[in-house]
Each structure stands twice: as structure tokens, then as C-alpha cells.
Homo-oligomer: A and B are copies of this chain.
Amino acid sequence: MARNKYPEETIELILDVAYRLFIEQGYEHTSIQSIINRLGGLSKGAIYHHFKSKEDILTAVVDRITYESNKLLAKIRDSSDLNGREKLKMIFKESINRPVQDEIFAAAPNFHNNPKLFSSLLNDTIKEVAPNYIQPIIEQGIADGSIQTDYPQQLAEIIILVANVWMNPMTFDDTKEKLYGKIMVFKQMMQGFGLDIIDEELTDRIQELAAIYQKKK
């Protein structure tokens, strides 16, 4: 086989196919061979040239999902015209309004049948998103007086865990009514932390995503 002149494109293609298979049939039930079968013409050697193992491919898939999202979070975190509390609100609003969210929810991955993918995303939420994006914003909020807490690290974690995992329609497959109650309880939790930032626009958008998910599932 001729040497590939476009390794970037090969990698993207492998990740496209792997992502689709992980979602369709679960990480556990996807073999490297089944990824190759869908790549028509690519050799096993070519895959192993780029990835050491299936787990390595999973990591790259998750990194790619989170890359765009993290770029947006960084932009809000580093903006200079908002206080900490306003940035936190902006994060919820912007994250959930990205058009790519419609795509992800329409693909309807079921995390419960996909423990490895779920575990990777949970780990990313707690080990990457919380300390690198949410915690710095809470620390800015403490400094500018818009957020009160003695535990910015832990507050960042609990907020993002509840928002990204518990309220994620893909994790627990909730009905529209049940999800509405979750949003209300989350709103009350945030108010308990002095953060009254969950408004009607956000509530509507979360329910809209849940509806997309339910329809395509």
C-alpha cells in the first residue's frame, strides 16, 4: 500500500467510523476488526500505525468530542467583560446552544449500555472540565464578589457533575416531565449556592434536546 500522504485525514476517518460504531453497538461490542471492515481498504497495520489499541481510539474519540466544547469554555473563561457569575451562566447557555448538540443528541448514544464511554466522559467532566474551566471561573467570581464559596474546586465539580451527567438525557433516558423536574431541582440547588442563573430560555433548550433524543432513539 502506498504511503498515506494525508495521515490527518486517515485519523479523522478512523475516528468517524469508530465513534459511529461505539454509539451504534457499544464500545465493548466493537472490535478493531469491525472498525477496519467499515474503512474499506485500510489495513490493520494502518490503524495500528496511528493507535496502539481500541482504548487508545476511545480516548481520541472522546478528545475530539470535547475539543470543540473546551475551546468554547476557554473563550468564555478568558473573556474580560463578564464577572464570574455571568460567565457561569454564559457557559450553560452557550454550551447547550451549540448546533453540534443537536447532532450528538440525534445520534442518541446510550451511556447505560456503554459503560466504558460513559466512564471516560465522566472522568473527563471531573478531571478536565471542572478544574480547567469551571473552577477558574468560580475563583474569578470569588475575587470579584459575584460568587461566595470556600470550596471552588468542589463547587465546580458538583455543578458540572449534576449538569453534564445527571441532567443529560443520554445518561438516564428521562421523559420530558421528569427532566423538567430535574431542571427545577438543579435550579434550586444553584440558588442554594447563591447562583440564580437557570432561566426559562435554558430550561426550554434542555427540553428541546431531550425531545430530539427521544425521537431519534
Instruction: Report which A residues bind B (CB closer than 8 A).
Output: 112, 115-116, 118-119, 123, 126, 149-151, 153-155, 157-158, 161-162, 166, 172, 178, 181-182, 184-186, 188-189, 191-193
Contacts and interface: CB of A to CB of B under 8 A. Distances in A.
Given A151-B182, A161-B162, 8 more contacts: A115-B118, A115-B119, A118-B119, A149-B185, A158-B182, A158-B186, A188-B192, A188-B193
B192 A191 contact: yes
Contact of A123 (B112, B126, B157, B191): B112
Each complex incorporates copies of this chain amounting to 2
A150 B183 CA distance: 12
A185 B151 contact: yes
Q: Is the interface of A mostly helix, strand, loop or mixed?
A: helix
A27 B175 CA distance: 31
Nearest to A152: B181
Contact of A189 (B150, B182, B189): B189
